[in-house]
Amino acid sequence: AVAAELPAASLAALMAQAGVEVHRDLPVDAAGGNNPTVFFPQVVGADQAWEQNIRGRGVVVAVVDSGISDKFSWAENNTIARYDALDNGPKRYDAYGHGTYLAGIIGSRRHDDNGYAGVAPRVKFVDVRVLDESGSGNYTDIVEGLDWILANHEEYDIRIVNMSIVGLVDRPYFANIINQAVERLWEAGIVVVAAAGNGGVTESSDGNTPMTISVPGNDPFVITVGAFTDNFTPADMSDDYVAPFSGAGPTEMGFVKPDVIAPGAHMISQMRNNSPWAQSGSAEHITGHWWQSAGTSAATAVVTGVAALILDANPDLTPDQVKYILMAEAAPAVYEDGSLAWSIFQQGAGRVWAPSAIAAVDGVDVATIPSANAGLIAGEPFAGPVVFRDGEFHFVDEHGNDLLVDGGYGWAGGYGWAGGYGWAGGYGWAGGFFDEATGTTWTGGYGWAGSVNDWQEWPAEQVWLSGYGWAGGYGWAGGYGWAGGYGWAGGYGWAGGYGWAGHLSLAQANN
């Protein structure tokens, strides 16, 4: 081969010579171009779903947040409708940056060396803007946005709502108007995925502080997502751990939360470089319009993407069935003796895993797939099966009697671990979160003795005291606005060696 610079007039004569081929010296880019390589789709097995041509095709996701930018082709070309609930001047697609960042995690079609930069790259978006340029919103705007989704979900075939926003808990979940709107969506057949919140680290705790689940994640009729980190080793599960900032349960009404955990640290996605959220210090600039941040907001977007893959595989599933499958096929972190490395109030059912969740529904008759929230009815008040007594959380029946004599789920708080565990399995869930011996489900509950209005509002720093409720001991951290965009720069090391695998039964979770 010979390389040469020739005037254009000489090319025709050269190409006419026998045995000579002329090729333009075209520029090339490294694989992935200017796109940084992201790993979270591989951490949850989304790439294995792509190989089966399951990529979220036909699934529409409503992102309830600060908006979705029109700058990026993957966002603009795949956003089929927009609604601005703020009504505060000229329409702004995303004046903050948070919503675009999340949409990219859910379903960006940009390519990198690993494949796609989003979990479900064939989803369509509906942009529901409820947060302003400071990342703040109020109940009026959020309820308006959710009610618009309810009124228009059939027209746009909305199947999932992503709510990476958090609000302060100041009353029972069923008396909160955001949760009431969310339950109407769930009842209409729309999966709602919500953040656990980033309140795990407080002045009195270095991580996963009990009872720090935010609104609307404290509602049983959502899929509540906590965060773990792959510790910058995405191919090695053995050093992954639950992020200390991730909000922990139980909820104020005694429900086990989060439901599952997903990658939520050093998460890379796109937003405009001049976005206020990008400039706030909550995100780190990588290259171009790519930014890195952390939080349960990002973890929620990952689970929204996995839920879209599940609905691509089986569009007939109900929200309760999607929640059941995500939990039943999750993998908790356990020690070699079978005890939990983290309480279920920290890791829920465990880390989501798309391949097994898809395998459990692909081509399966939905009539044979169980549902979460057994015995619960949206719009009615319920209490969960957990109470705080004698310095620990206990599972009880509707009469307050312990369901587990050994207090197998007892947890007095704290974040420490002894190491030497894995995300390991062989623990048949018998329903994903069900104990045949007691008939207890994590997502079940008991009818509230009073009415929806039979409660008194309590201060943010005080746990609600009721006939069923809490004996005290853990106060509310409070102070979290609706942005859900609390960044985390990392820095939590891990020297252990454990794995993630399999599933878990109620009686075996004894940490």
The average pLDDT across 471-478 equals 29
Whether 132 is in a domain gets the answer: yes
Q: How confident is the model at residue 493 (pLDDT cuts 50, 70, 90)?
A: very low
Residue 11 pLDDT: 58
Does the structure show a pLDDT above 50 at 149?
yes
The average pLDDT across 123-132 equals 95
Does the structure show a pLDDT above 90 at 423?
no
Catalytic residue chosen out of the listed positions 65, 84, 259, 312:
65
Residue 461 pLDDT: 37
Does the structure show a pLDDT above 50 at 253?
yes
Q: Which has the closest alpha carbon to 352: 198, 224, 233?
A: 224
* DSSP 8-state class, residue 368: G
Q: What pLDDT, in 10s, does the model give residues 15-69?
A: 667 766 655 443 333 233 467 889 999 999 999 999 999 999 999 999 999 999 9
Distance set, CA 61 to CA 82, 235, 311 (Å): 12, 29, 11
98 included as an active-site residue: yes
Residue 6 pLDDT: 64
65 included as an active-site residue: yes
- The predicted model scores a pTM of 0.81
Q: What pLDDT, in 10s, does the model give residues 438-454?
A: 444 555 566 554 444 55
Instruction: Choose between 166 and 84: higher pLDDT.
Output: 84
Does the structure show a pLDDT above 90 at 511?
no
Residue 215 pLDDT: 92
Whether 290 is in a domain gets the answer: yes
* Terminal CA-CA length for the chain: 68
Residue 319 pLDDT: 97
Residue 10 pLDDT: 67
Domain that holds residue 282: 40-381+482-508
Tokens of 142: 């959020």
141-168 as b/e: b if 16+ CB within 10 A: bbbbbbebbbebbeeeebbbbbbbbbbb
Percent of the chain with pLDDT over 70: 69
Catalytic residue chosen out of the listed positions 66, 69, 297, 371:
297
Q: How confident is the model at residue 12 (pLDDT cuts 50, 70, 90)?
A: low
Q: How confident is the model at residue 89 (pLDDT cuts 50, 70, 90)?
A: low
Count of domains forming the chain: 1
Residue 239 pLDDT: 83
Q: How confident is the model at residue 342 (pLDDT cuts 50, 70, 90)?
A: confident
503 included as an active-site residue: no
Q: How confident is the model at residue 204 (pLDDT cuts 50, 70, 90)?
A: low
The average pLDDT across 254-268 equals 92
Residue 4 pLDDT: 66
Whether 198 is in a domain gets the answer: yes
d(CA 238, CA 497): 5
Q: How confident is the model at residue 384 (pLDDT cuts 50, 70, 90)?
A: confident
Name the H helices within 188-281.
276-279
* DSSP 8-state class, residue 449: S
Q: How confident is the model at residue 349 (pLDDT cuts 50, 70, 90)?
A: confident
Whether the Cβ atoms of residue 213 and residue 220 lie closer than 8 Å to each other: no
Whether the Cβ atoms of residue 176 and residue 161 lie closer than 8 Å to each other: no
Q: Strand locations in 429-484, DSSP E?
A: 434-435, 440-441, 446-447
Tokens of 413: 């708080």
Residue 376 pLDDT: 86
Q: What CATH number should be reported for the domain holding residue 230?
A: 3.40.50.200
Q: How confident is the model at residue 460 (pLDDT cuts 50, 70, 90)?
A: very low
- Bridge-based pairing of strands 79-84 and 392-395 is unpaired
Residue 166 pLDDT: 86
d(CA 218, CA 223): 10
Residue 288 pLDDT: 92
Q: How many CB atoms lie within 10 A of CB 127?
A: 25
Q: How many CB atoms lie within 10 A of CB 69?
A: 25
Sequence-ordered list of residues with C-beta below 8 angstroms from that of 434, at least 6 positions apart, any chain:
440, 441, 442, 505, 506
Whether 19 is in a domain gets the answer: no
Distance set, CA 402 to CA 349, 385, 393, 448, 473 (Å): 21, 10, 10, 18, 19
Instruction: Look up tokens 């994590």; give the residue.
Output: 442
Catalytic residue chosen out of the listed positions 98, 153, 289, 503:
98
Does the structure show a pLDDT above 70 at 490?
no
Instruction: Indicate the average pLDDT of the chain.
Output: 77
The average pLDDT across 78-103 equals 88
Whether 262 is in a domain gets the answer: yes
Residue 117 pLDDT: 86
Q: What pLDDT, in 10s, does the model give residues 270-310?
A: 999 999 999 988 899 999 999 999 999 999 999 999 999 99
Specify the amino acid at residue 60.
V
Residue 447 pLDDT: 57
Whether 443 is in a domain gets the answer: no
Question: What 3-state class would DSSP assign to 148?
Answer: helix
Whether 206 is in a domain gets the answer: yes
Q: How many CB atoms lie within 10 A of CB 210?
A: 22
